[in-house]
Amino acid sequence: MKRRPLLAGNWKMHATVLDACHLAADIAKTCAGLEDRDVVLAPPFTVLSQVAHMVAETGIFIAAQNVCWEAEGAFTGEISPLMVLDAGGGAAIVGHSERRQIFHEDNALINKRVRGALAFGLIPILCVGETLEERESGQTFKVVEEQVRAGLAGVETADMKETILAYEPVWAIGTGKTASTGQAQEVHAFIRNLVADIYEKDIADQVRILYGGSVKPDNIDVLMAQEDIDGALVGGAALNAESFGRIIHFQEI
């Protein structure tokens, strides 16, 4: 089943208002007339509304880099789903490896974020992936399965149709290392089969699974040629309109 490609740029902790607006405008130009794929930008919370305004009516979707599970309350430092929606966002990255590794967010907390996003109409982009130590000790599939099952706990079938998954091997993020196409495809196929086991094959066939981990203009084409890779979650290369534009306009091989 051919799924609609999705190319997402995670700006992480980069870009003040002026820089963000320039970058968003330049990326929007590269997407002019693009109709066969989706583009998502995930800017910092502080520029979310400005970027949403810059790309309004361009077809580019806006995502938050994280999201709380409550609409409001005593959650200092958190951003609620309603705040994301109000700022122009329609999706949220959840469980990014940096949240797991640096800020020690566990599967239970990430699941609350996933369900919170869905409850308020946001599309979650649930990230999973193993560390180098876990891969070298043969635990890749065990870790990924635990993260997928826990992250999707309580997510109904109807909501799963809208949920996006992203496989990002921790050892390949920001390191310049990229999982080989064989390694990436193998885990993507495993995740799709896992979704089929949790839900049903029709759902698994529809779910888009992105690859994240040092995605660049020179490796996007071969990654996108893999059967179960439906897009990319891009970090550093998304901070440059030219490089991200080449990734958006990947060539089918």
Q: Which residues are catalytic?
A: 96, 168
Cα–Cα distance between 11 and 15 in angstroms, integer? Answer: 8
Alpha carbons 33 and 179: distance in angstroms, whole number: 32
- Which of 211, 207, 192, 64 has its CA nearest to residue 129? 211
CA 200/CA 159 separation, integer angstroms: 13
Residue 139 CA: distances (Å) to CA of 19, 148, 187: 41, 14, 12
- Calpha distance 220→240 (Å, rounded): 15
AA identity, residue 62 = I
49 beta partners: none
